[in-house]
């Protein structure tokens, strides 16, 4: 009979091996069950995604719209529809645009993923400076080829369309030609119109001021700037003028250049927008230094003579019949 003598430490190794086999036999079923439940959960989530039609809508902010005469007066709104489901959808699109005109698709077929479309917006000519909100609404009407019977919440995107300001002006004069004598005070009147689409400030000046002063004119502008509303009645600017007093005979034409400039164009458009109105001034006549003093002395002498005659003639006269003779009111 043979006896096996256990080696020290062998029994403990056998116990550990048996425990490992038992733990492995328990762990494998647990892993299988966990995988099974995870697959069921993912299947339920997929079914829920497939049975819930949905769409999202995003739009980019469009570029500002130029509305000056000759501009395109339009901009493009770029939008994206996103279908998070696994089936194709048909989406109806509606627009609320306010005071501008928009043109875009009335519906779109959206496969799973993203689909882009464009909306054109157009403003009126000379549209006043400002902005208008455009609202685009998307509603799912078909899903996987079948009409959507359950009520679905529409999604919408809002964008702001901006109408840019532009400058435009006109300058007119009550008279384009005037004839005056030397050394005469006269007021010239010029009209400035704001034909832009927003309130603007206009600065005025005499373009050839130095030239006119060298010719002997005296010029003054009581008002050099004024804010004017868009398409409002013209603002009147006055130029106080005294004609030259050159000694002797004058027979000459002069051109006065009245200039108005839009301040907005200088500040924002980069190029000054201005208008120049030319007025022709014809000076004809003679000027003699001291002639005014001679005239004044003559008038003073005549007035003195008249007063003296009237004083001497204030005596009461009686004719032969005893009647009072009326006073003579003649000057001479």
* Angle at alpha carbon of residue 155, lines to 151 and 161, rounded to 5°: 150
Half-sphere exposure of 169 (CA within 13 A, CB side): 33
pLDDT over 70, % of the chain: 72
How many whole angstroms separate alpha carbon 262 and alpha carbon 224? Answer: 12
Residue 265 has pLDDT above 90, yes or no: yes
Q: How confident is the model at residue 47 (pLDDT cuts 50, 70, 90)?
A: very low
What homologous superfamily is domain 169-287 in, according to CATH? Immunoglobulins (2.60.40.10)
* Angle at alpha carbon of residue 262, lines to 261 and 265, rounded to 5°: 120
Q: Which tens digit of pLDDT belongs to each residue from 188-226?
A: 999 999 999 999 999 999 999 999 999 999 999 999 999
Question: What was the pLDDT predicted at 193?
Answer: 98
H or E element in which residue 121 lies? strand 113-122
H or E element in which residue 249 lies? strand 248-262
Stretch(es) of the chain classified as CATH 2.60.40.10: 56-163, 169-287
Q: What is the distance, to the nearest Å, from the Cα of residue 206 to the centroid of all Cα atoms in its chain?
A: 28
Question: What was the pLDDT predicted at 242?
Answer: 97
Q: Are 140 and 53 in contact (CB under 8 A)?
A: yes
H or E element in which residue 112 lies? none
How many whole angstroms separate alpha carbon 203 and alpha carbon 228? Answer: 11
Paired sense of beta strands 218-220 and 235-242, if any: antiparallel
**Cβ contacts of 246 within 8 Å, gap of 6 or more:** 182, 216, 287
Residue 142 has pLDDT above 60, yes or no: yes
The CATH-assigned architecture of domain 56-163 is Sandwich (2.60)
- What residue spans of the chain are helical by DSSP H? 10-50, 209-214, 263-264, 291-312
pTM of the model: 0.68
125 or 303, greater pLDDT:
125
Q: For all residues of the chain together, what is the average pLDDT?
A: 84
Tell me the two tokens of residue 136.
């685009």
How many whole angstroms separate alpha carbon 311 and alpha carbon 21? Answer: 156
Residue 14 has pLDDT above 70, yes or no: no
Q: Are 243 and 180 in contact (CB under 8 A)?
A: yes
Smallest CA-to-CA distance from 79 within 137, 16, 40 is with 137
How many whole angstroms separate alpha carbon 285 and alpha carbon 276? Answer: 29
Paired sense of beta strands 274-287 and 177-180, if any: parallel
Smallest CA-to-CA distance from 175 within 284, 257, 281, 253 is with 281
Q: How confident is the model at residue 332 (pLDDT cuts 50, 70, 90)?
A: very low
Q: Which tens digit of pLDDT belongs to each residue from 78-118?
A: 999 999 999 999 999 999 999 999 999 999 999 999 999 99
Tell me the two tokens of residue 157.
């995107």
Tell me the two tokens of residue 285.
């006549």
Question: What was the pLDDT predicted at 246?
Answer: 87
Q: How confident is the model at residue 38 (pLDDT cuts 50, 70, 90)?
A: low
Q: Which tens digit of pLDDT belongs to each residue from 52-88?
A: 799 999 999 999 999 999 999 999 999 999 999 999 9
How many whole angstroms separate alpha carbon 205 and alpha carbon 4? Answer: 127
Question: What was the pLDDT predicted at 33?
Answer: 67
Question: What was the pLDDT predicted at 139?
Answer: 95
Smallest CA-to-CA distance from 169 within 234, 124, 223 is with 234
């Amino acid at each position: 009979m043979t006896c096996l003598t256990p080696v020290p430490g062998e029994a403990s190794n056998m116990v550990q091996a048996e425990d490992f086999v038992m733990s492995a036999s328990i762990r494998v079923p647990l892993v299988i069950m966990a995988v099974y439940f995870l697959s069921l959960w993912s299947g339920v989530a997929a079914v829920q995604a497939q049975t819930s039609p949905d769409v999202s809508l995003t739009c980019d902010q469009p570029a500002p719209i130029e509305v000056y005469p000759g501009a395109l007066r339009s901009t493009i709104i770029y939008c994206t529809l996103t279908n998070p489901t696994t089936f194709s959808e048909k989406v109806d699109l509606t627009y609320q645009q306010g005071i501008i005109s928009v043109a875009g698709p009335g519906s779109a077929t959206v496969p799973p993923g993203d689909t882009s479309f464009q909306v054109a917006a157009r403003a009126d000519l000379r549209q006043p400076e400002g902005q208008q909100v455009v609202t685009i609404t998307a509603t799912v009407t078909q899903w996987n080829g079948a009409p959507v019977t359950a009520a679905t919440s529409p999604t919408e995107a809002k964008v702001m369309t901006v109408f840019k300001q532009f400058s435009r002006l006109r300058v007119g004069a009550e008279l384009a030609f005037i004839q005056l004598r030397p050394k005469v005070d006269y007021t010239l009147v010029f009209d400035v119109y704001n034909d832009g689409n927003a309130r603007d400030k206009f600065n005025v000046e005499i373009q050839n001021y130095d030239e006119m002063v060298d010719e002997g004119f005296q010029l003054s502008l009581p008002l050099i700037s004024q804010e004017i509303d868009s398409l409002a009645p013209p603002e009147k600017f006055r130029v106080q003028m005294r004609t030259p007093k050159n000694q002797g005979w004058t027979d000459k034409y002069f051109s006065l250049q009245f200039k108005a400039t839009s301040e907005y164009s200088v500040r924002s458009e980069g190029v000054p927008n201005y208008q120049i109105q030319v007025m022709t001034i014809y000076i004809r006549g003679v000027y003699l230094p001291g002639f005014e003093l001679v005239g004044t002395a003559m008038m003073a002498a005549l007035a003195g003579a008249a007063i003296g005659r009237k004083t001497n003639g204030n005596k009461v006269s009686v004719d032969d019949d005893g009647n009072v003779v009326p006073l003579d009111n003649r000057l001479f």
